[in-house]
Structure 1
Amino acid sequence: MRWTLKPKPESLKVEALKKALQVDNIVATLLLQRGIETYEAAKTFFRPSFSDLHDPYLMKDMDNAVARIEKAIKAGENIMVYGDYDVDGTTSVALMSSYLKTRIDSVATYIPDRYDEGYGVSYKGIDFADDNDFTLIIALDCGVKAIDKVAYAKEKGIDFIICDHHRPGDKIPDAVAVLDPKRDDCDYPFKELCGCGVGFKLITALAANQGQTAEDLVEYLDLVATAIGADIVPIVDENRALAYLGLQVINTNPRPGMKAIIAEVKKDILTITDVVFIIAPRINAAGRMKHGNHAVTLLTETDFNLAAEYAVDIDQFNTDRRETDKRITQEALVQIEENNEQEGFTTVVCNETWHKGVIGIVASRLIETYYRPTLVFTKSGDKLAASARSVKGFDVYNTLEACSEHIEQFGGHKYAAGLTLLPENYEAFKAKFESVVKETIDPKLLTPELKIDLEIELGEINDKLMRILKQFAPFGPGNMSPTFMSQNLKDTGWGKCVGEDDKHIRLTVTQSFNDKIVCIGFGLGDKIDIIKTKRPFSAAYSIDENHWNGNVSLQLKLKDIKA
């Protein structure tokens, strides 16, 4: 890893904020690094509230969307709520359909089959709507590029409202409304909502017509917070408030389906990290291993006993998913070694038998080993489909755009995308992808970067600091958990490898004779020799709490150590 120490804020600003907030140097510096310079800004940061949310009508086409839905409700039209099969899509569908059913009975949900229909709006979904007399489709977390599909629906007398957050193409679909803060002609003040977040803005605007505010919709925020965590959008501005308020719902009064998932994992208080690693994979597993409908059914169920039964199924899907992605990752690593492809600027692997539902996870796992832009292909109908993942700082979406001559279809974000191509174009695409990355990537991006907020002394770590750091949560892109570094550390002599295959290290470090603190380093077992030399070393870490036998103590969660 290459360690990068963030620039220190101006000392005058640090002193001013220290005085205004009555905090120490460390806290003032961390806040300034996050753009928080005043008492009022700090108050907003530490106490997110509904007042931090923007007016939904600032979003382009919101008035059109509300007018069309109100017309459908008044006329008793059949409304289809359509969404993608991942966490953001299924939570969006659960949110929108649950809300609409409080106003009208004739609402149905539709999640495309990952294998039969693929990502986004499908002709099959539109045909289903036509066959069953749906006259309005509300598409969530997809649709901003579905120009042909929306035109096809229009021919059949079906209107579309699109709630998306992906980057639009050159043209916008001819829908009744296209709600997407990333539209060039949209002046909405916050561009980084997830799909479920855009859906929440729509129901907020609909509720305003009924004399309600966002506070009256608090019951939907467990879904929004889950989507924010799972979709890895920046947890700043409006997303911070929605995640913060949503976590309160998750921990105090979650919907029966969410409660049933939490009961399966037996954890009292959940953080956004728990949402990302415990709740989200289970919801995702339905669409990966079986069908996204299972997730929507769980998240919209109002009877806890039924929800508990569905949660058992979802948990099994997740177990199957874990076993499958572990096996495929091993096969992919073997393929890379057998083909001597460890040295390039990219990782591109293909096996027509690999499970399409886990190739995105496998791509992420391969980055953990080789750390470079990665594509994992499998067979999908008569085409090859891939999930793309990138390294920090490199835009894989733009790279795919540069390779579009070989691609049938693609979409996504800077760091994650999906594509399909014809099998006969695979080798040409692979060569072009390698060539474009080689020409455009800064070579230093091929070494993982560890951003360090601040260098501190062990003696500055105490319970008061930990109490304040916990209030920096929820953490995520744009507000990562603070990473510190300390130099001239020594092991007190008890450092050792622990865990399966000695993968981890546990030690007690000291910087002076008075300061001792326990450290745990997951995945750092190969660094044991640095400790055993008895020479001083540097460590990068976050400050953590260790709960054991009813006792709570501070510990350092090591991210890296260097001689």
Structure 2
Amino acid sequence: MIKKRWIRKDAPAPEQVAQLTQALGVNEAIVRLLCQRGISTFELARSYFRPDLSQLHDPLLMRDMDRAVARLVRALHDGERVLVYGDYDVDGTTSVALVYSYLLRFFGPARIEYYIPDRYKEGYGVSEAGIDFAQENKFQLIIALDCGVKSVDKVAYANERGVDFIICDHHLPGAELPAAVAVLDPKRADCDYPFKELCGCGVGFKLMQAFTEHQGLPEDDLYELLDLVAVSIAADIVPINGENRTLAFHGLRLLNDRARAQRPGFEALRELAGLRDTELNVTSLVFGFSPRINAAGRMGDAKRAVAMLLADTADAAKEKAGVVDKTNQERRGFDTSITKEALAMIEDDAALQTASSTVLFKPDWHKGVVGIVASRCIDKYYRPTIILTESNGKATGSARSVVGFDVHQAIEECAELLDQFGGHMYAAGLTLPLENVALFQQKFERIVAGRIRPEQLIPPVDIDGTIALSDITPSFYKLLSQMEPFGPGNPNPVFASENLTAAPDSLRIVGNSHLKLALTQNGGRHRLEAIGFGMGDHFERIRGGEPFSACYNIEINEYRGVKSLQLKLKDIRWENDLATALTAN
């Protein structure tokens, strides 16, 4: 098992905890969690636990929003045709489904269509082929979603052909912005929008919100589309705080309100993911919905995902979701085989095993899964990773990073070797000439090795606090669950407990390497079920009765209709090892 470093968060000021505990009247451990997250007053706690749509920011605070709305209204009044253009991942396809379905009622089917570029023929983002399609079919306006902020040359190409652009993006802009009618991106240096971490679908939602306000329309119809925003927020791993928390909270409420009509596409996905009778949360969206929606673009035509999201009957949605699910099964096959090859390449290369980064290239790897494979490699070798394959005569691929290291910046420093690149601190895409791959591997490794700190090569576990097993009760969990939705910026709390042993009758291995046991503390009789995925290596020491500490999330396990509290272990530390280390120091 990969070694982890425990990072214990600073305890909040006792007087602050005492004041908020008195104001809220809840468990002090919950109050400590709130204070650690900057929620230190009754008013902040109220808005945290009950996010209200009135908390959403004025969309006109976003740079160029007035210009975007004016251009959209002009298109509506002048009888123009509008093409809704989006990236092929979850964020892009949900963005297209939201903007297209909302504007359809105003423009009608003859004047609005959607377009998703072919991942393999057109590549990422705005393409000349998409612009040519718009010109040939007499679309005067393109709304680009989850892409476009770096498409300077493509927008210039469109301008020459009389096609206008409104760009709704959330990626980091380059030195030059495209000459679009409007570039909506909260990460623009000259944009004063109060919340910078919207996903692409969130930016599209803000455009629709501004359009709705301009037209004097009720916002209820727009809010019915927040299920799409919630799925996008979950899939794109953006911080779930601020405006994202409000959007995700209400989107999840919509997804879980079975008394009202649900989106047939999501209902079909729910069935396929085995979540029909489960309360959806960010985790179930990430692992149940996202891979299936993403697979459509990774393995073929992302328009299939949009068609599923827009399906208006259960039968149509079920048929389209079945196709998407089959595509996901194909994706999993490629994912498994390529990950195995990639790990073998590292294991067979002594230099790669001791490197600070991983950059692998194989021309026949499937382009659609290289990002997933990069993440799988990080699970085994925790360091910035880039997986490249060949496409259209170029090396192209995806990068993933580790906590605290800006992989986008490291790639940018290799720009002279690249044709194009883009992305975030923790995830990026890039394309380069085949003859530059070896040079890129060498330079990227030099940059990473020179900058990354040793501790950044050890995966961290952030621990919110140490508690006793006896503190973990159904009422405690009920309060904890009200802190959802969890995700980046509002993580599922991780607790630690010390001096633990396993109840002798409980310890077993399930699956190939998963640890299942009931924990007891300080020899007491109180016991809690726990599971540690991939932690089978600890079996013998636990069976020997050696005390240990563990850190974990608290969750509900449902088995044969019976629900019970369960600890999901994240790591184990041996008390004897820790005592020896402290003595040696």
TM-score (ref. length: structure 1): 0.98
State the Cα deviation string for residues 416-455 of structure 1 (Å, max 9, x = none).
Answer: 0000000111111100000000001011000000000000
Partner-residue secondary structure (3-state), 2:249? helix
| Pairing of 1:241-256 with structure 2 (within 5 A) | 241-252=246-257, 253-256=261-264
Match of 1:395 in 2: 406
Report whether the alignment pairs 1:323 with 2:326.
no
Partner of 1:357: 368
| Equivalent position of 2:7 in the other structure | 4
**1:219, CA displacement in angstroms?**
1.6
C-alpha displacement of 1:303 = 2.1
- Is the CA contact 1:80–1:110 (under 8 Å) kept in the aligned structure 2? yes
What's the CA shift string for 1:32-75, capped at 9, x where partnerless? 01100011100101011111211111111111001101110111
3-state secondary structure, aligned to 1:287: helix
Instruction: Tell me the residue number matched to 2:149.
Output: 144
What's the offset of the Cα at 1:149?
0.6
Q: How has the CA–CA distance of structure 1 residues 342 and 265 changed in structure 2, closer, same or farther, with 3 Å as cutoff?
A: same
Q: Of 92, 95, 99, which residue of structure 2 is paired with 1:96?
A: 99
Using the alignment, how far apart are the partners of 2:112 and 2:435 within structure 1? Answer: 43
Q: 2:170·2:186 contact (CA, 8 Å) conserved in 1? A: yes
Corresponding letter in the other structure for 1:168: P
Which residue of structure 1 aligns with residue 265 of structure 2? 257
Does the 8 A contact of 2:386 with 2:399 survive in 1? yes
Match of 2:577 in 1: none
What is the 5 A alignment of 1:488-499? Answer: 488-499=499-510
How far apart are residue 304 of structure 1 and its match?
2.0
Identity of matched residues, %: 52
Q: What displacement does 1:460 show? A: 1.1
Give the distance between the partners of 1:342 and 1:498, measured in 2 at CA.
Answer: 30
Shift of 1:512: 4.1
* Equivalent of 1:155 in 160, 172, 175: 160
Contact residue 167 and residue 182 of structure 1 kept, 8 A: yes
Counterpart check, 1:276 vs 2:281: no
Which residue in the other structure is 2:435 paired with?
Answer: 424
Matches of 1:435 and 1:35 in 2, distance apart?
38
- Say whether the 8 Å CA contact 1:257–1:301 is kept in structure 2: yes
Summarize the alignment of residues 33-48 of structure 1 with structure 2, pairs less than 5 Å apart: 33-48=36-51
Structure 1 gaps of 5+ residues are: none
Alpha-carbon distance in structure 2 between the residues aligned to 1:214 and 1:49: 14
Q: Displacement, 1:357?
A: 0.3
Contact 1:349/1:375 (8 A) holds in 2:
yes
Secondary structure of the residue aligned to 1:23 is coil
Answer yes or no: is the 8 Å Cα contact 1:494–1:508 preserved in 2.
no
What is residue 216 of structure 1 aligned with on the other side?
221
Counterpart AA for 1:256: P
For 1:465, which of 476, 479, 488 is the aligned residue?
476
Report the CA distance between 1:216 and its aligned residue: 3.3
Greater shift in the superposed pair: 165-174 or 252-261: 252-261
Aligned length: 563
Task: Look up the match of 2:425.
Answer: 414
1:226 aligns with 2:236: no
Q: When the two structures are superposed, what TM-score results if normalisation uses the length of structure 2?
A: 0.95
- Structure 1 stretch displaced more, 284-293 or 505-514: 505-514
Structure 1 residue aligned with 2:445, among 414, 434, 437?
A: 434
Structure 1 equivalent of residue 456 of structure 2: 445
CA shift at 1:260, angstroms?
1.6
1:205 aligns with 210
1:542 Cα deviation from its structure 2 partner: 1.1
1:208 deviates by 1.0
Per-residue CA deviation, residues 489-526 of structure 1 (Å, 9 max, x unaligned), is 11121353423323333333333423211111111111
Distance 2:18 2:345 in 1: 56
User: Secondary structure of 1:70's match?
Assistant: helix
Does the CA contact (< 8 Å) of 2:126 and 2:148 recur in 1? yes
Partner of 1:532: 543
Q: For the residues of structure 2 that align with 1:128 and 1:365, how far apart are their CA atoms?
A: 37
Determine if contact 2:410/2:447 at 8 Å carries over to the other structure. Answer: yes
Deviates most, 330-339 or 238-247? 330-339
Choose from 162, 179, 187 the match for 1:182. Answer: 187
Q: State the alpha-carbon separation in 2 of the partners of residues 503 and 461 from structure 1.
A: 23
Compute the displacement of 1:263 (Å). 2.3
Aligned partner of 1:117 in structure 2 is 122
Q: Is the 8 A contact 1:504 1:520 kept in 2?
A: yes
Give the Cα–Cα distance (whole angstroms) in 2 for the partners of residues 263 and 511 of structure 1. Answer: 44
1:373-429 deviation per Cα after TM superposition (whole angstroms, max 9, x unaligned): 001000010100010000111100000011111111000000000000001111111
Aligned to 1:474: 485
Q: Which residue of 1 aligns with 2:581?
A: none
On the 8 A contact 1:48/1:244 being kept in 2, the answer is: yes
Which residue in the other structure is 1:302 paired with?
Answer: 312
**Does residue 454 of structure 1 match 2:465?**
yes
SS at match of 1:101: helix
Question: Which moved further from structure 2: 474-483 or 514-523?
Answer: 514-523
**What per-residue deviation string (whole Å, max 9, x for no partner) do you get for residues 302-339 of structure 1?**
12211110011011011111111001000111112223
Deviates more, 1:82-91 or 1:531-540: 531-540
Determine which of 342, 347, 369 is the counterpart of 2:380.
369
Aligned residue type for 1:19: Q
* Amino acid paired to 2:126: V
RMSD of aligned alpha carbons: 1.1
* Cα pair 1:530 1:562 within 8 Å, conserved: no
Q: Which runs of 5+ in 2 are unaligned?
A: 575-585
